[in-house]
Each structure stands twice: as structure tokens, then as C-alpha cells.
Amino acid sequence: MNNGLSRRSLLSLGAGAVAASTLAACGGGGGDAGGEISKDAVKLRFTWWGSDARHKRTQQAIDLFTKKYPNITISGEFKEWNGYWDSLATTVAANDAPDIIQMDELYLASYAERGALLDLGTAAKHLKTDGIDPAALDTGKVDGKQYAVPTGVAAYSMVVNTTLLEQYKIPVPDDSTWTWDDLKRIGLEVSKASGGKVTGVQSWGFDAGGVNIWARQAGATLYDASGKVSIPPAVLAGYWQYLLDLAKQGIAPAPSVTVERAGASLDQSGTATNTSAFGTWWNTQLTSLSAASGQQLKLLKLPTNGQAAAAESPYYKPSMFWSISSRSKHPAEAALFVDFLLNTTEAGEVLLTDRGVPSNSTVRSAITGKLADTDKAAAEYLATLKVGAAPRVTPNGASGIEAILKRHTEEVLFERRTPQAAAESFIKELQTEIDAA
């Protein structure tokens, strides 16, 4: 599924590898997470990545918190994504990690399993999680312990350009019943009606989300509970065969175009340039896509394979997490701050959807009226889904999955490997990476 999140993750793989290799066992040495909030002066450090707009919103939230708790000072340490993970790995290895850490799903297990993160269950006195759907909350668990809480959630969707469908007199499909075969059929209608100017579907296959969904619809999983690669080769081969069919039948662009778009920015995608009628995206990317497209875009639920398992195949993807360092000298105060960010409408009205649609359902409802129409549609989309159990957190050693996946997808699309051979090779290589971690 071709989107900005996966490209961003690809850029960070080298940094993630540094993190994995330099972390030392560093549990212990912290304060009492369940203790009373200090009335003395407390200094906390808070690190995150993001744009200038995120920095400004985050600082506003910090100011609101410190106004409420004037004895607590919070120093922000923000960086661009590419330098973030090297910096975090260095500070963790030196036992000098910030108290509050913005965490990504790809690296959660790597840090948690090495004792770098606080079990947030020990801070339950100050950090409440009852406002978060259990399926979303479970995305922050490693080996049954809550090492992170999702700041916001997203879910996969099919984004359809209704302007193009209207132009070609093709009805919008019923997303409560449609299948992957329906997508092929409708996509082919678009490609033919446009005379080759527009393809019916923008191909995907470059991030773990697409594989996760395909596996879940087949009643399988990408990883089992122990962290081993568990997707059956036949299921994965079927995934790649479908993508190959789209390309060979002219429903999706030629492989060279697909690969070029996969490495480009969102505004150069088939959806954003109005050169593909359907595309798989996170629901929260609708606003950026609509701004780039200038045409009417709509969120649809993903097609299914018609099997019973597909009914609960949707899952919450954490946009990012809040974690606390296991060595924080002030874990109670750090937990209080995370609780403020997570659970108060005061913070929610400042942060809005910058870190995803708020995971706290009360906050989400409170800010919906303040959102732009496309952000509102993204928030409302979540309510249409029957969400299943959270996928197993990416195992330690598997943070390079998207680089491996990208290479194998390209080999299938260019017919350098059969889907079956690619599936067997992918599973073996990914498992080798996990075993070596």
C-alpha cells in the first residue's frame, strides 16, 4: 500500500539498526511510577519528531500543562525523522534518555525488550487508558506489558476519486459488499473508459500494512505471538499474484511507473495526480490527498475476499506512541503529562489530528466539530469499521521489513521471480533477520 508512512519508515532503517545494536539492558534506575506527584520542582525532557507545525502545537500543549502544574518544567527536544532514531539510540545507550519519548511501532519491541521503556501499567495511578479502545491499546503491548500508548489511530481504506468515476459514468461501489474481484472489474472499466489516460487502480505492495490486511482476510497473521513469521507462503503468493494481475491487465500502471511513484512523495501519487481512480491509503491521509488532487475523494472500506475472517480484518494502526523511559527519575510526573496529552480535550483541541485521529474516544468526539471536512471524514470512517484484534507488534529484528518487501514486490512486478518464489524468499529472509536480532 503506497503511502508516505512507508517511505518514511524506509528512510529510517539504518537509524533503526543503530538503535537495535546499541541499546543495552537498561531497566531499573528510575523513580516510583506509582508514587505521589511531587510538589517540588521537577524537570522533564520530552522528545519527538515532526514538522514545524507539530513543534508549535506540541509546545502549546506543553505550556497548557505547565500552567496547570507550575512546579513541572518540560524541555522539548524535537528533530527530523532521519536523525531522530540515531539520537535516541545514543541517549538510551548512555543512560540519558528523555523522560517522555515519541515512539514508532517499528521500533517499539526493540526498545521494550531491552528494558529501555517503562511498563506503563505501573503508572496506572496517573495515566488512565480506559478511554481507548482495547484493540488500539493492545498495539502498544510487548509480551503482555503496556510499554506505549497510541497517540492516535488510523486504518487502511480505499480512496476513490468520485469525480473520475462520474466522468466515466461508473457508479461508486458498495463498500459493504465488494470484493477484490470487484475492484479488478471496476478498475478495468476505468482504464478502458479513459483510453489509457487514467488507470483504474494505483498499485501497492510496498509496506507491511498491505500484507497484514491480506493475511488477516485469509485467517492468517504476518507474525505469530512469539514473533516468528507465520504468513503461509500460498497466502503471500496470492497477494503478489493479485498485484501482478493488476499490472499485466492494464488495471494498474506499468511496473516502472508503480515503482517510481512508490519512492516519490504523496503529491506525486496516482491518487494525488488524478491518474488512478482507486488507491489504498491510511484514512488520515485523505486531507493531504484531497488538497493535492483538487477533485472529490471519498473513503471506502477495503474490498474483501468474501471469507468469514475478512469481517474483522481491519485493525487500528497507531500513528505513533507515547512511551516513558524506564530510567526516568520522575516517572509519575511523566505519566501525568502523557495522561494530559492523551485524555484531555484541552490538549486535544490544540493537537487536533496532527498525531492521528485521537485514540481517546471522548477527545475524538470533542474535536470532530473543529476539524476540516476531510479530517472529519477520516475520524468518522473509523466508526464504520468492525475492527479486529491488534496485529502482533513488529518483532525485534524485523524493522527492515519494508525494504525486504519493496525488493520482492519489484521482482514480482518485473517478473524476475514468480509470486510463489518471492513468497518463500521473503519469509526466509525476514525470519533470518528476526533470528539474528
The dihedral of CA 87, 92, 98, 102: what is its sign?
positive
Taking the C-alpha atoms of residue 300 and residue 156, their distance in angstroms, rounded to an integer, is 9
Q: What kind of fold does domain 30-151+319-379 have according to CATH? A: D-Maltodextrin-Binding Protein; domain 2 (3.40.190)
**Domains 30-151+319-379 and 156-314+400-436 agree in fold:** yes
Q: What kind of fold does domain 156-314+400-436 have according to CATH? A: D-Maltodextrin-Binding Protein; domain 2 (3.40.190)
Give the pLDDT confidence score for residue 6 in this predicted structure: 36
Does pTM surpass 0.85? yes
Give the pLDDT confidence score for residue 21 in this predicted structure: 42
Per-residue confidence in pLDDT tens, the chain, 437 aa: 443 333 333 333 334 444 444 444 444 567 899 999 999 999 999 999 998 999 999 999 999 999 999 999 999 999 998 899 999 999 999 999 999 999 999 999 999 999 999 999 999 999 999 999 999 999 999 999 999 999 999 999 999 999 999 999 999 999 999 999 999 999 999 999 999 999 999 999 998 989 999 999 999 999 999 999 999 999 999 999 999 999 999 999 999 999 999 999 999 999 999 999 999 999 999 999 999 999 999 999 999 999 988 989 999 999 999 999 999 999 999 999 999 999 999 999 999 999 999 999 999 999 999 999 999 999 999 999 999 999 999 999 999 999 999 999 999 999 999 999 999 999 999 999 999 98
Give the pLDDT confidence score for residue 29 in this predicted structure: 63
Cell output for 85: 532514531
Cell output for 356: 492521528
φ, ψ for residue 31 (rounded to 5)? -90, -165
41 residue type, one letter: A
Sketch the domain layout of the chain as residue ranges.
Answer: 30-151+319-379, 156-314+400-436
Cell output for 121: 501499567
How would you classify the pairing of strands 42-49 and 72-79?
parallel
Containing H/E element for 286?
A: helix 286-293
* DSSP labels, 45-81: EEEEE--HHHHHHHHHHHHHHHHHSTTEEEEEEEE-H
Taking the C-alpha atoms of residue 79 and residue 56, their distance in angstroms, rounded to an integer, is 13
